[in-house]
Amino acid sequence: MRRVIAVVIGAILVLVLFKIWAHKTAVQSGTILFLGDSITAGYGLDPSQAYPDLIQIPDMTMQNLGVSGNTSADGLQRLRDYFTDGATPRLVVIALGANDILHGASADATEANLNAIVAECKSRGIPVLLCGVKIPFKFGTDAIFEDVANKNHVALVPDVLMGEAFHDDLMQEDHMHPTAAGQKMIADKIRAALIEHFAFETK
């Protein structure tokens, strides 16, 4: 009887693991592109301390396309230029929108730009991980990233700064940009999301 129970439990575990794996998007070995602003660029830090450089996934190369001050409109144009040059990343991580919110851009305009960025990727068969950010006292903008993720059926990290923004040791003196320790926490958060939602093929 115990043997039968063990076999049944084993079969259930295999089925559960299979379902989890089946829901992941396959990603071939190659480049993961990080499209973002100053947080992605590692403002105030050595570039090697920015979170894209801290993420390690076997057979994947991280490319940091973060530029300080960029809005979602800037990121959209930069991505189009990037694709025009013939680049073919295997996956794109989008971390834009914070500057839109800080500068008072309309939620509709930001959402439209993010939708267009996702569309540029999807039209090339490139999967996407979208990263949101929640700006203190800008609560009306929290839904932007969820709306984009739901509309386009893409994976979402709701807030890359969750936790960091309320710890002085994780944020620089401007209270807007992560310290090296804060960047490490963001890297861990995004890597966990990548592993959760994507199945990375190894050579």
H/E run at residue 184: helix 180-197
The answer to whether residue 2 sits within a structural domain is no
The SS3 call for residue 87 is: coil
Percentages of the chain per state (helix, strand, coil), in multiples of 5:
50, 15, 35
The answer to whether residue 7 sits within a structural domain is no
The answer to whether residue 155 sits within a structural domain is yes
Residue 164's pLDDT band, with cuts at 50, 70 and 90, is low
- Average pLDDT (27-55) is 97
The pLDDT score that the predictor gives to residue 18 is: 42
How deeply is 91 buried, as exposed, middle or buried, from its count of CB atoms within 10 A (0-12, 13-18, 19+)? buried
How deeply is 112 buried, as exposed, middle or buried, from its count of CB atoms within 10 A (0-12, 13-18, 19+)? middle
The pLDDT score that the predictor gives to residue 22 is: 52
Instruction: Supply φ then ψ for residue 79, to 5 degrees.
Output: -65, -40
Q: Which residue has the higher pLDDT, 135 or 63?
A: 63
Q: How much is the mean pLDDT over the chain?
A: 89
- Average pLDDT (86-92) is 96
The answer to whether residue 91 sits within a structural domain is yes
The answer to whether residue 123 sits within a structural domain is yes
The answer to whether residue 8 sits within a structural domain is no
User: What's the pLDDT tens digit per position in 51-81?
Assistant: 999 999 999 999 999 999 999 999 999 999 9
Instruction: Report the CATH number that the domain containing residue 82 is assigned in CATH.
Output: 3.40.50.1110
Q: Are 120 and 80 in contact (CB under 8 A)?
A: yes
The SS3 call for residue 22 is: helix
Residue 7 has pLDDT above 70, yes or no: no
Domain that holds residue 107: 24-200
Q: Which residue has the higher pLDDT, 129 or 17?
A: 129
Domain count for the chain, please give it: 1
